Structure 1
Amino acid sequence: MVKRLRVDAVIVQAVIAGALSFSHLHDLAEAAGQGGWKAWAYPISVDLLLVAAWRRMRQAQRAGLRAGGPRLWFLVALTASLGANVATAGLLDLDHVPAWLRVLVAGWPAVAFFGGTLLAHTP
């Protein structure tokens, strides 16, 4: 028996949206002075924090527990992703990134590490 591959439009849309968001995060990190492999690591850290927080949030909800911590980290990662998407939509001159945004981008790894650690080590 041969199984036919069925393309799910929701998955296709999610892959396209994820790729665009990934690209926006990369472009913003690169414009903020994080070149090379570091510019590629930023979108990975944002997206992984988003996914980890979502999974923890769903686990807590299924267990009937409060999901305040995971929800907070989900919102932090979503804000980083959405912020990069909006910033790269022509609202920000990527050739002259303001200092405050450079500071936010440079500080992101510590924030993501802290959030990911809390999510990983909270029962």
Structure 2
Amino acid sequence: MTRLVRPDAVLVQAVIAGALSFAHLHDLAEAAGQHGWKAWAYPVSVDLLLVAAWHRLRTLRDAGEPSRSAWAWFAVALVASLGANVATAGLLDLGDVPDWLRILVAGWPALAFLGGTLLAHGPTSPSDPEPAAAPAAVPAPVVEQETEPGVQVVSAPAPVAPGSVPAPAVTAPPALVAHAQKIAADHRARTGSVIDTETLRARLGVPHPLAKAIAAQLA
């Protein structure tokens, strides 16, 4: 199926205007002493600076940054293009171009190079990154430990700070503490010394953290 190509009036108008402006810039550069390929390079340089300034202007505006420098170079390129169009409209004798215009045309490459470099490598402040959310504290698991028949020790959960090792608090039942006091008294009566934590743990049959907590209560 053949597609019908419909010309866009705006696009056609843009092509015509661009061609006329290109020709006016070429004629002015050639009249100012720039012959051959140099006269054709001037219109390309002016149009490229105009496009680069407009692109930089939109980028800065979208980023919320100041765009005065982009506006300045856009105005320079626009004045150069409009000036060539007006100068070739019969207001200027192209056979006898004044010296100041020859100086402007000869100095344009350096000015365009400076503008293009500043537009392409201009600083743009990056957006401030959002601060990362701090990890929430992880609660310590409840640990159940079996000791003597009918006695259950539960370690109370405690919040754990990020990056730290949990240290559960051990609580001994009162009945177990009373039983440990009897064992400690019997040990003192037989040996004449205070029972140590390891011996208390072996007599009670409980884990070391619980035996240490009971020994601290007996001290």
Q: Which band: TM-score by shorter chain?
A: over 0.9
Over the matched positions of the two proteins, sequence identity in percent amounts to: 74
Q: Give unpaired runs (5+ residues) of structure 1.
A: none
Q: Does 2:16 correspond to 1:16?
A: yes
2:174 corresponds to = none
Partner of 1:47: 47
Tell me the CA shift for residue 7 of structure 1. Answer: 1.6
The C-alpha deviation readout for 1:68-118, integer Å capped at 9, x for no partner, is: 111110000000000000000000000000000000000000000000010
Considering fraction of residues, name the structure with more strand: 2
Unaligned runs of 5+ in 2: 124-219
**Counterpart residue type for residue 24 of structure 1:** H
1:4 deviates by 3.1
Greater gyration radius: 2
Whole-Å Cα distance in 1 between the matches of residues 44 and 73 of structure 2? 15
SS at match of 1:4: coil
Partner of 1:35: 35
Counterpart code for 2:34: Q
Distance 2:60 2:30 in 1: 36
CA distance in 2, matches of 1:47, 1:105: 15
Segment drifting more, 15-24 vs 59-68: 59-68
Partner of 2:122: 122
Report the TM-score, using the length of structure 1 for normalisation. 0.96
CA shift for structure 1 position 67: 1.1
CA-CA distance at 1:59 after TM superposition: 1.2
Partner of 2:167: none
String of CA shifts for 1:41-79, please: whole Å, max 9, x gaps: 000000000000001101111222221111110000000
Alpha-carbon distance between aligned partners in 2 of 1:116 and 1:5, rounded to the nearest angstrom: 36
Query: TM-score if structure 2 supplies the norm length?
Result: 0.55
The Cα shift of 1:8 comes to 1.3
Alignment correspondent of 1:77: 77
Per-residue deviation, 1:11: 1.0
Higher relative contact order structure (alpha carbons within 8 Å, sequence separation ≥ 6): 1
Give 2:54's aligned amino acid. Answer: W
